[in-house]
Amino acid sequence: MERIKTPDGTTVSFDKFGRGPALVLVHGGFSDHHTNWEFVKPILQDRFTMYAIARRGRGETDSTTGHRIEDEVNDVVAVIRSIDEPVFLLGHSYGAHCSVAAALQALDRIRKLVLYEPVWPSAISNDGLARLETLAASNAWDEFSVTFFRDMLHVPVEELNSVRATDLWPPIVADAKASLGDLRAMNKCEFKPQRFREIKIPVLLQIGSESPRDLYVTDALIEVLPNARIGELPGQAHEGMTTAPEMYADAILKFLAE
């Protein structure tokens, strides 16, 4: 992995691969710089030089406690400014929160922005986080993961059980400890959509047709972003890049090529 030091001294690592214009990827929770993109990487790497950031606690990036979303926004901005050309920026879930805030700080360095279902911070309630903290204290990471997806993202039990029976589940559980830091940061976040009115670059707000729409800030952002549109992924929920990688990559390619 490649590494940089941010202005506050944090080491941030990222995988760099592919060829073409720069595309910076910011992964969500319960995943990392590899697992979030592993199925679309073979499709996109012949079109873009991809910089897959490992957020805090993943890869060779510093593992910190008590950090806020703003800290990881600064990490993303530092990576963007280390690249010697303007970039396309793509963020998923928690990574979409980091990406939209990073765009506000580095508008001069971003060509287009893609945001896939950033969650309303209110979904991580104090009571819900307390339940997860109890499970974490017991190292019950499998139950921790199930509780998050079932009770906070409202993934149907049948669908969740199907995922648990596949090879996709162990990496999710393996990332749960780092994801606890994400959830703590999200719980402290106050999301104000109107602050993003200044982002005038083209923005694609991706949603899955099967996702609970009110769980995500997509509709709040479309009201304030002057050059944004919503792109629906038919038949998909929160993990379209994993469940339908060709559909997902095709949507990205079309938007970025315009």
In a domain, 200, yes or no: yes
| In contact, 37 and 241? CB cutoff 8 Å | yes
Distances (CA, A) of 110 to 25, 81, 87, 206: 13, 10, 5, 18
Complete DSSP assignment for 12-55:
EEEEEEESSSEEEEE--TT--TTTTTTTTHHHHTTT-EEEEEE-
The pTM of the whole model exceeds 0.85: yes
Q: 201 with 110: CB under 8 angstroms?
A: yes
Instruction: Please classify residue 47 by burial: count the beta carbons closer than 10 Å to its beta carbon, then call 0-12 exposed, 13-18 middle and 19+ buried.
Output: middle
Is 135 part of a structural domain of the chain? no
Q: What is the pLDDT of residue 204?
A: 99
- pLDDT in the model for residue 81: 98
The predicted pLDDT at position 44 comes to 97
Q: Does 144 fall in a domain?
A: no
Specify if 80 maps to a domain: yes
Task: Decide if 55 is inside a domain.
Answer: yes
Q: Return the pLDDT at 41.
A: 97
In a domain, 235, yes or no: yes
Does residue 151 belong to any structural domain of this protein? no
pLDDT at residue 140, rounded to an integer: 98
CATH number of the domain within which 103 lies = 3.40.50.1820
Give the type of residue at 72.
E
* The predicted structure's pLDDT at residue 258: 94
Which domain covers residue 197, as residue numbers? 2-121+189-257
pLDDT in tens, the chain (258 residues): 999 999 999 999 999 999 999 999 999 999 999 999 999 999 999 999 999 999 999 999 999 999 999 999 999 999 999 999 999 999 999 999 999 999 999 999 999 999 999 999 999 999 999 999 999 999 999 999 999 999 999 998 999 999 999 999 999 999 999 999 999 999 999 999 999 999 999 999 999 999 999 999 999 999 999 999 999 999 999 999 999 999 999 999 999 999
- How far is residue 138 from each of residues 87, 142, 149, 175, measured CA to CA in Å? 42, 11, 19, 16
Q: What is the largest CA-CA distance in the chain?
A: 50
CA distance 19 to 102: 23
Q: Is residue 141 part of a domain?
A: no
Please count the structural domains in the chain: 1
